Amino acid sequence: MTGTPHLIDDCFLHDKGRMRHDDVVALITSRLGPVVGISSVRLDNLSGRLLAEGVEAPRNVPLHDNSAVDGYAFAHGDYAADNTMTIGPRIAAGDRPPAPLAGGAAARIFTGAVMPPNADTVAMQEDCTVSDDGMSVTIPAGLRPGANRRLAGEDVKAGDRLLVPGQRLRPQDIAALASLGKSEIGVFDKLRVAIVSTGNELVEPGSVAVLNEGQVFDTNRHMLAALCRDLPVATTDLGILEDDEAAISAALSKAAADHNVILTTGGASRGEEDHIVRTIDRLGKRHLWQIAIKPGRPMSFGQIGDCVFLGLPGNPVAAFVCFLLYCCPALRLLGGGTYREPRRYALPAGFAIKSKKPDRREFQRGWLETDDKGNTVVQKYPRDGSGLISGLRSAGGLIELGEDIRAVKPGDPVNYIPFSEFGITTG
């Protein structure tokens, strides 16, 4: 493991009042970097991890020209003269590189086997006719030069850059590493994230059969833990903290010493019972952002030493949307990853919005469907409440309405961001 980098002091400090979405993303992506060490990890445990080193191919893949099918390998020049050839050596996958073929001969070859040095074409065995004595084979007419041959370096050439630092390793990337002969590689250690809820009104699901008046089940903590599972992070569930300043201070002090990030929801105001806000202000630094978006306007970002504090809104939809837009890239960057702007697909709206507030970016919940003309359109969940989990369950992505949009008519182009852009698969 390498030495652990330190967090930039005042990494969330800004000089703006109400920040636009693009300003927030720009600040996060420009000020945050890795705060974790690096470890060498074996192939079987690499899926989803963030690469800490670049990877170049030390050799061609495949190393030699080889056959793509079971059949007969030959020199196309011989085939042009006579399509009946003497059957030469038998070459199976894994055999050592063969000797050159004799003139007018075809080697019996199998998929993946190394081609003879002077052979350049392979005929599929089912298209060939072998003589009764097994000594010769007739190749069908019309084969082009190089048919059914895989070239050395066809997949990867020596010196090619395959992977870059910060890239999240997918199963296909692990296959590429294995094809180079690598058994392990350096990746960033998992970011340690503590998730906590605060509030006397919160009740752990399953702990009681019936809620008392004024109580609600804690949904956000479990939702955030599930969202974090799609990232290369290790989470700690700190449970529900009561509205007691001493208890909150002790819990957050310990969490800051043991974790890279503390993630909370709600309690962003300065009321008498908002102890978490005062605790962050006393232990470290907190910057309350007023973001010009809907849902999710109030967010708190800050730090306790080298531990980042991310304070999300309390409403589930706002917490979900802000996690995708801001926490997800922050966690990736802190964990050694790179930022990739989510792709937007401009598609016609299948809904109408009579009036939208200007100078504010909105992220509605929506999905794709086919209209009566066979066209793909974006449909919006009919209710906008930021506490409606049913809207998240119905949606397949976010409908992004820019600051300049004041109304939407059916057929107007709108940007649709599938949840898959944030690593969330559809059911």
* SS (HEC) of 281-329: HHHCEEEEEEECEECCCEEEEEEECCEEEEEECCCHHHHHHHHHHHHHH
> What integer pLDDT is reported at residue 298 of this predicted model?
83
Same domain for 247 and 205: yes
Same domain for 199 and 137: no
Cis upstream peptide for 295 (omega within 30°): yes
353, two tokens = 């919005």
Whether the Cβ atoms of residue 396 and residue 413 lie closer than 8 Å to each other: no
165: CB partners within 8 A, 6+ apart:
51, 52, 53, 54, 336, 338
State the pLDDT confidence band at 1, using cuts at 50, 70 and 90. Answer: very low
Same domain for 179 and 139: no
Which of 309, 334, 359 is at the close of a domain? 334
Strand partners, 308: 261, 303
Cis upstream peptide for 316 (omega within 30°): no
- Residue 105 is which amino acid? A
> What integer pLDDT is reported at residue 10 of this predicted model?
85
- What is the domain count for the chain? 4
Residues 349, 351, 356: CA angle, nearest 5 degrees: 95
State the pLDDT confidence band at 327, using cuts at 50, 70 and 90. Answer: very high
Specify the long-range contacts of residues 23-32, CB closer than 8 Å, at least 24 apart: 24/289, 24/291, 24/325, 24/326, 25/325, 25/326, 25/329, 25/341, 28/326, 28/329, 28/330, 28/333, 28/339, 29/329, 29/333, 29/339, 32/8, 32/330, 32/333, 32/334
| Nearest C-alpha neighbor of 364 from the set 376, 375, 379 | 379
210: CB partners within 8 A, 6+ apart:
none
Residues 45, 46, 49: CA angle, nearest 5 degrees: 125
Count Cβ atoms within 10 A of the Cβ of residue 210 and give its class: 0-12 exposed, 13-18 middle, 19 or more buried: exposed
Whether the Cβ atoms of residue 413 and residue 402 lie closer than 8 Å to each other: no
> What integer pLDDT is reported at residue 410 of this predicted model?
96
> What integer pLDDT is reported at residue 265 of this predicted model?
87
**Orientation angle between helical segments 245-258 and 275-283, nearest 10 degrees:** 50
Same domain for 379 and 288: no
Residue 182 belongs to a domain with what CATH number?
3.90.105.10
Residue 279 belongs to a domain with what CATH number?
3.40.980.10
Residue 82 belongs to a domain with what CATH number?
2.170.190.11
pTM comes to 0.88
Same domain for 303 and 254: yes
Same domain for 82 and 180: no
Classified as helix, coil or strand, 338 is coil
Per-residue model confidence as pLDDT tens digits over 240-298:
988 888 888 999 999 999 999 999 987 655 554 567 778 888 999 988 778 999 998 88
Which of 334, 369, 398 is at the close of a domain? 334
Q: Is position 141 within any domain? A: yes
Q: Is position 340 within any domain? A: no
Which of 334, 358, 380 is at the close of a domain? 334
Q: Is position 12 within any domain? A: no
In the predicted model, is pLDDT for residue 22 greater than 90?
A: yes
State the pLDDT confidence band at 136, using cuts at 50, 70 and 90. Answer: very high
Dist CA 5 CA 35 (whole Å): 5
Q: Is position 195 within any domain? A: yes
Lowest mean pLDDT among 12-26, 154-168, 177-191, 343-357: 12-26
In the predicted model, is pLDDT for residue 76 greater than 70?
A: yes
* Averaged confidence pLDDT in the chain: 92
Rounded mean pLDDT of 26-49?
95
Rounded mean pLDDT of 224-242?
93
Q: Is position 375 within any domain? A: yes
Same domain for 179 and 111: no
> What integer pLDDT is reported at residue 122 of this predicted model?
97
Q: Which domain holds residue 202?
A: 18-36+190-334
Same domain for 127 and 27: no
Dist CA 213 CA 228 (whole Å): 31
Rounded mean pLDDT of 201-220?
91
Same domain for 230 and 89: no
Q: How many helices (H) and strands (E) does the chain have?
A: 9, 27
Residues 233, 235, 238: CA angle, nearest 5 degrees: 160
Same domain for 44 and 177: yes
Per-residue model confidence as pLDDT tens digits over 350-360:
999 999 999 99
Dist CA 349 CA 357 (whole Å): 18
- Residue 53 is which amino acid? E
- Residue 296 is which amino acid? G
In the predicted model, is pLDDT for residue 199 greater than 70?
A: yes
In the predicted model, is pLDDT for residue 321 greater than 70?
A: yes
Whether the Cβ atoms of residue 174 and residue 46 lie closer than 8 Å to each other: yes
- Residue 272 is which amino acid? E
Same domain for 358 and 269: no
44: CB partners within 8 A, 6+ apart:
none
Q: Is position 209 within any domain? A: yes
Q: Is position 163 within any domain? A: yes
Q: Is position 227 within any domain? A: yes
Classified as helix, coil or strand, 321 is helix
What is the radius of gyration, based on Cα positions, of the chain? 30
Whether the Cβ atoms of residue 255 and residue 194 lie closer than 8 Å to each other: yes
Same domain for 218 and 179: no
Dist CA 219 CA 225 (whole Å): 10
Rounded mean pLDDT of 5-34?
87
Residue 404 Ramachandran class (φ > 0 left, ψ -120 to 50 alpha, else beta): alpha
